[in-house]
Amino acid sequence: MTVRINPSILSADFVNMQTELDRVATADLVHVDVMDNHFVPNLTFGPQMVQRIQDVSPIPLDVHLMITDADRWAPGYAELGAASVTFHAEAAEDPVKLARRLREIGARAGIALKPGTDVEPYLELLPELDQLLIMTVEPGFGGQAFMADMMPKLRRAREVVEREQLAVWLQVDGGITADTITVAADAGADTFVAGSSVYNSGDPTENIAALRAAAEA
Ligand code: DX5
Ligand code: ZN
C-alpha cells in the first residue's frame, strides 16, 4: 500500500509560511485546515491565503474545509488549484453533487466525518470520491489525543474499498504520531495528516521520514 504523509500547517508558524512550507517539501501533500468559527470553534484562513500558499508551496495542497455551507465555498478551492478538497459530510447539503463538481474542476474530492458521525451511510458514496477522511479528534485544534475508537470506521471503509476495488484514499487526521500511525495503518488508513508531530519538535524532514517508516512497517 502506498503511504502518504500530509503535514498540517495548522501547527506551522503563520508569519513564516514560505519557510514552513519548504520545511515539509519531502512530504506528499501539504494539509491546509480552513476553519470558519461556525463549523468548528476556531478560525484560520480563507481562499486568499490558500491561493498564496498554492502559489508558493513546493508540494500539492490537500485542503480540509471545516466550514458550514461547503456547497458554496468548496469549488473555489478546487478552482485555485488545490490537488484535493475535502469537505465535511455534516456541512454539505448535497455531498454527491458537490463531489462531482470538485472532480469536474479537476480536484480530488473528499468527504470528512467527525468522530460522532457514522461511516455506514457514506460507504455507498465511495465511488463518487477520491478520498475519505476519518477524523481521529474533534475537528478544530491541533495537538489533541488520537481516538483509537475510530478504527472500526476505517476498517469498514477499507473493507468496501477492497471489495469494490476502488482507488479511494483513506485518510486519518488528528493525534497522528510515530506510535499512533501504526494503529491507523493497521486499520486500513493510507494517508496520514500530522501537525504537531511534524512541526512542534525536532526536524520536520526527520519527523516525516519517521512517520513514513512507521506507517510502512
Ligand atoms: C484539526 C485539524 C488537523 C490538525 C491536526 O481539526 O483538522 O489537521 O492540524 O493536528 P495534530 O496532528 O496536532 O493532531
Ligand atoms: Zn485537518
| Domain ranges across the chain | 4-216
Whole-Å CA distances, 68 to 40, 61, 150, 214: 9, 21, 23, 35
Ligand 1, residue 195: give the atom nearest the CA.
12
**Predicted confidence pLDDT, tens digits, the chain (217 residues):** 899 999 999 999 999 999 999 999 999 999 999 999 999 999 999 999 999 999 999 999 999 999 999 999 999 999 999 999 999 999 999 999 999 999 999 999 999 999 999 999 999 999 999 999 999 999 999 999 999 999 999 999 999 999 999 999 999 999 999 999 999 999 999 999 999 999 999 999 999 999 999 999 9
Listed residue (80, 2, 98, 94) closest to 34, CA to CA: 80
149 is catalytic: no
CA dihedral sign, ordered 122, 127, 128, 129: positive
SS3 of residue 66 by DSSP: strand
- How far apart CA 6 and CA 60 sit, in angstroms, is 10
Task: Give the global pTM.
Answer: 0.98
CATH number of 4-216: 3.20.20.70
In single-letter form, the type of residue at position 169 comes to W
| Ligand 1 in reach of 171 Cβ (< 6 A) | no
Q: Write down the H helix ranges in 42-88.
A: 47-56, 70-79
Nearest ligand to residue 7 Cα = 1
ipTM over 0.95: yes
Q: Give the distance (Å) from ligand 2 centre to CA of residue 199.
A: 14
